[in-house]
Amino acid sequence: MLSTQTKLEVLHPAGQIAGRVAELGAQISRDYAGKSIILIGVLKGAAIFLSDLARSITPACTFDFVAVSSYGRGAHSSGIVRMVKDLDHSIEGQHVILVEDILDTGLTLAYLRGLLLQQKPASLKIAALLDKPARRLEKIEADYVGFTLPNHFVVGYGMDFAERYRNLPDICLMPPDAPE
Ligand code: PRP
């Protein structure tokens, strides 16, 4: 099946994503019944996943966002990640779920998890829409995973190629030889 907006091949159509996000939201709602949650989205890729996931969650929840920039990703296990937008509020004593579109090498989430744990949240879990274990460099797993991804580059539903395609409703496969 091809995307209606582009000629890209669809890996996960919008309807399938919606169903899986609703399942994750129901699971999170059960796990956090009677508690309140802070969802922390990692900009920009997680924005659409977070907004859909939040609407599938019944316990009280608030949002915050962080942004990071990365250097040397994929080339070295010592790839440096740097925070470029910090949290707006303290998370001390709060139940936190870090929300990511994709867990790939794990460098981003390992860095963020380390930083956030310094603030002593009551709990810290990770929700990743996509998990690409084949490229993992850090020992880190998500607590809530939408789909496990083969070693393909994907776009859509928040994910980009040179900042394009984030608005596609489906998750699509990007050909390896695509020009920017
Ligand atoms: C992507 C994704 C994660 C990170 C995962 O962000 O949103 O934050 O890479 O990769 P890792 O597990 O190898 O660290 P990207 O740098 O593409 O920025 P974006 O979210 O703004 O698209």
Please write the tens of the pLDDT for every residue from 50-87.
Answer: 999 999 999 999 999 999 988 755 444 456 889 999 99
Ligand 1: list residues with CB < 6 Å: 42-45, 70, 73, 100-108, 160
Domains along the sequence of the chain with CATH: 17-150 (3.40.50.2020)
β-strands 61-71, 80-85 pairing: antiparallel
Look at residue 146 in the predicted model and tell me its pLDDT.
Answer: 98
Active-site residue, from 52, 101, 104, 131: 104
33: left (phi over 0), alpha (psi -120 to 50) or beta: beta
Least confident among 13-22, 76-85, 89-98: 76-85
Q: Give this prediction's pTM.
A: 0.93
**36-59 confidence digits (pLDDT tens):** 999 999 999 999 999 999 999 999
Mutation probe of ligand 1 site: the residue of 65, 70, 159, 180 with most atoms within 8 A of C-beta: 70
Nearest ligand 1 atom, CA 45 = 20
Nearest ligand 1 atom, CA 111 = 14
Among candidate residues 128, 92, 98, 93, the one with its CA nearest the CA of residue 112: 98
Active site (annotated) includes residue 104 = yes
